[in-house]
């Protein structure tokens, strides 16, 4: 079955797609990965990955979604009715759900931190911890994340907010929310960036972030950068297929992909320009500066040393919550679209069916940071396992199957038809895109997957 929903305007399409792309991946995951992989060298490889792998794969998903005009699974079925390529779509639906289990939890943290910024609780010194010491925020984060009820309840609130937006539909829900939230995100980001430039050691932070040390580029940096590029552009999981099924017939796919990727890179750079000057200025390179808690520890540390900490942290956590919500809805939409299109289900019903089990899985994922932290498989908890499995394995695999399908097996003229809107647009980039999908993307992904499995 096909869907008949459509975004209403060009701006709405960009807002919703950027809303999906720019999320916790750019703000929470990116600085942590940059830090773990040698600073500026990582940024450089990340940009290369976005340009040469991200954009072609995004275009591929756009082509499938807009030509198939259906959810991730049924779009493949329409383009290739008697071959099992739809399995790639099934991967997408299952994996987007796995992503949601931890994504909703982290989104919940952002809401709690916003709430604590508003009440001022976040900056109240902890008992028994020396005031002004670096461990303040680290301990607060550890205690919060490993707690039982608060993170679980915020996860549920977050799922409910997303469910509400999604149940209102493609135009009145997704598009409208994105149109309001995305401009807000950019204003906040720029205000924070300007204020970071006034910090005492801003230039040292910028040097760490922008002067690459080429000796730091190892295979691991490539793997992480590719995973980060896919994650931050919402690729490999059917999200962009689903959103592209709501694009218009005359939407310029190339222009959209370039704009969205460009904005994605821009946001990641702005975030780096905020965090690294702060880190250098206040000597935070130590303990607090690592891993998934980074933005929840380092940012409050930075704000606490600035004039009016509450102001900055309210701005920042609003930014983070907004980015998380517009991305969460896009990930959830993959499953919702499937239930609507495949079973002809009403949107509200589909939303409930997707969101209710998520409340349970999200709660388990949240608990795996605390009371369930002993429940591990290959050293991963439910939470960290879902993150690693999706970003490092399933997402690249999804992108691999998709590019093999498009490069080698899809109907001959499909890509050209879609990228030129049936000949109306110039098509000089069609041949390079096909070349990349046919030869470069699959080979590089295989190399990276194999290296990461055996090293
Ligand atoms: N891109 C989003 C972020 O950076 C997350 C996201 C949305 C995503 N949809 C996705 C990641 C699909 C992978 C696949 O936070």
Report d(CA 108, CA 106) in Å as an integer: 5
What pLDDT shows up at residue 125? Answer: 83
pLDDT at position 15 is: 95
CA-CA distances (angstroms) from residue 94 to 6, 54, 72, 235? 24, 21, 11, 14
| Ligand 1, atom 12, residue with closest C-alpha | 234
pLDDT given at position 301: 84
In the reported structure, the alpha carbon of residue 14 is separated from the centroid of ligand 1 by a whole-number distance in angstroms of 15
User: Any idea which residue has 């592209």 for tokens?
Assistant: 244
C-alpha 319/C-alpha 311 separation (Å) is 12
**Does residue 389 or residue 441 have the better pLDDT?**
441
Residue nearest to atom 6 of ligand 1 (CA): 234
Output helix, strand, coil percentages for the chain, rounded to the nearest 5: 75, 0, 25
Q: Which of 49, 61, 166, 231 to mutate to test the pocket of ligand 1 (most atoms within 8 A of CB)?
A: 231
Residue among 23, 233, 325, 328 whose CB has most ligand 1 atoms within 8 A, to mutate: 23
Report whether pLDDT(448) > 90: no
- As a whole number, mean pLDDT of residues 276-285 equals 82
pLDDT single digits (tens) 39-90: 899 999 999 999 999 999 999 999 999 999 999 999 999 999 999 999 999 9
Given CA atoms 80, 86, 88, 93 in this order, what sign does their dihedral have? positive
Do residues 310 and 117 make contact, with C-beta atoms less than 8 angstroms apart?
Answer: yes
Which tens digits make up the pLDDT trace of 77-131? 999 999 999 999 998 998 899 889 889 999 999 999 999 999 999 988 877 776 6
Query: What is d(CA 252, CA 140) in angstroms, rounded to the nearest whole number?
Result: 47
Mean per-residue pLDDT of the chain: 89
Q: Tens digits of per-residue pLDDT, 194-240?
A: 999 999 889 999 998 998 888 888 888 888 898 899 889 999 889 99
Give 2-45 pLDDT, tens digit per residue.
Answer: 566 899 999 999 999 999 999 999 988 898 888 888 889 999 99
Instruction: Count Cα atoms within 13 angstroms, Cβ side, for 280.
Output: 21
Residue 313 Cα to ligand 1 midpoint, Å, equals 24
Mean pLDDT of 370-382: 76
Percent of the chain surpassing pLDDT 90: 63
How much is the pLDDT for 22?
95
Flag the least confident range among 208-222, 320-334, 336-350. Answer: 208-222
Residue 134 has pLDDT above 80, yes or no: no
Mean pLDDT, rounded, for 390-409? 88
The label of the residue with tokens 């396992």 reads: 385
The atom number, within ligand 1, closest to the CA of 235 reads: 14
Residues with CB under 6 A from ligand 1: 20-21, 23-26, 96, 99, 231-232, 234, 236-237, 239, 327, 330-331, 395
The two most distant CA atoms of the chain are separated, in Å, by: 69
**CB within 8 Å of 196: residues ≥ 6 apart:** 202, 205, 273, 274, 275, 277, 278, 302
| pLDDT for the residue numbered 454 | 76
Q: What is the pTM of this model?
A: 0.93
Q: What is the pLDDT of residue 288?
A: 45
pLDDT tens digits along 407-439: 999 988 999 999 999 999 998 999 999 999 999
SS3 category, 422: coil
What's the whole-number mean pLDDT along residues 345-372?
90
């Amino acid at each position: 079955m096909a869907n008949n929903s459509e975004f209403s305007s060009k701006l709405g399409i960009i807002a919703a797609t950027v809303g999906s792309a720019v999320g916790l991946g750019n703000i929470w995951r990116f600085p942590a990965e940059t830090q773990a992989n040698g600073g500026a060298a990582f940024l450089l490889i990340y940009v290369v990955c976005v340009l040469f792998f991200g954009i072609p794969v995004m275009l591929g998903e756009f082509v499938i979604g807009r030509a198939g005009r259906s959810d991730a699974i049924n779009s493949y079925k329409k383009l290739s009715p008697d071959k099992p390529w739809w399995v790639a779509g099934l991967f997408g639906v299952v994996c987007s759900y796995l992503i949601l289990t931890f994504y909703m939890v982290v989104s919940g943290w952002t809401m709690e931190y916003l709430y604590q910024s508003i009440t001022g609780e976040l900056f109240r010194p902890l008992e028994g911890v020396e005031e002004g010491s670096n461990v303040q925020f680290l301990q607060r984060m550890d205690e919060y994340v490993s707690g039982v009820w608060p993170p679980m309840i915020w996860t549920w609130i977050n799922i409910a907010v997303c469910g509400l937006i999604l149940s209102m539909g493609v135009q009145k829900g997704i598009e409208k929310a994105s149109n309001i939230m995305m401009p807000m995100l950019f204003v906040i980001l720029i205000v924070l960036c300007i204020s970071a430039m006034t910090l005492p050691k801003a230039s040292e932070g910028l040097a760490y972030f922008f002067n690459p040390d080429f000796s730091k580029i190892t295979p691991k940096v490539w793997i992480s950068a590719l995973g980060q590029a896919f994650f931050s552009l919402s690729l490999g999981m059917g999200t962009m297929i689903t959103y592209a099924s709501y694009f218009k017939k005359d939407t310029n796919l190339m222009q959209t992909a370039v704009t969205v990727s460009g904005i994605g890179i821009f946001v990641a750079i702005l975030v780096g320009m905020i965090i690294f000057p702060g880190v250098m200025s206040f000597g935070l390179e130590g303990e607090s500066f690592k891993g998934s808690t980074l933005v929840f520890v380092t940012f409050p540390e930075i704000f606490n040393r600035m004039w009016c900490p509450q102001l900055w942290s309210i701005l920042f956590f609003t930014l983070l919550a907004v980015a998380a919500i517009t991305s969460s809805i896009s990930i959830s939409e993959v499953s919702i679209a499937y239930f609507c299109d495949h079973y002809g289900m009403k949107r509200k019903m589909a939303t409930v069916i997707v969101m209710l089990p998520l409340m349970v899985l999200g709660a388990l994922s949240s608990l795996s940071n605390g009371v369930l932290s002993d429940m591990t498989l290959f050293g991963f908890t439910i939470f960290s396992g879902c993150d690693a499995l999706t970003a490092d394995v399933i997402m690249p695999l999804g992108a691999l199957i998709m590019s093999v399908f498009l490069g080698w097996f899809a109907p001959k003229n499909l890509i050209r038809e879609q990228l030129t809107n049936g000949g109306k647009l110039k098509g000089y980039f069609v041949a390079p895109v096909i070349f990349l999908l046919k030869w470069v993307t699959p080979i590089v992904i295989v190399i990276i997957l194999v290296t990461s499995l055996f090293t």
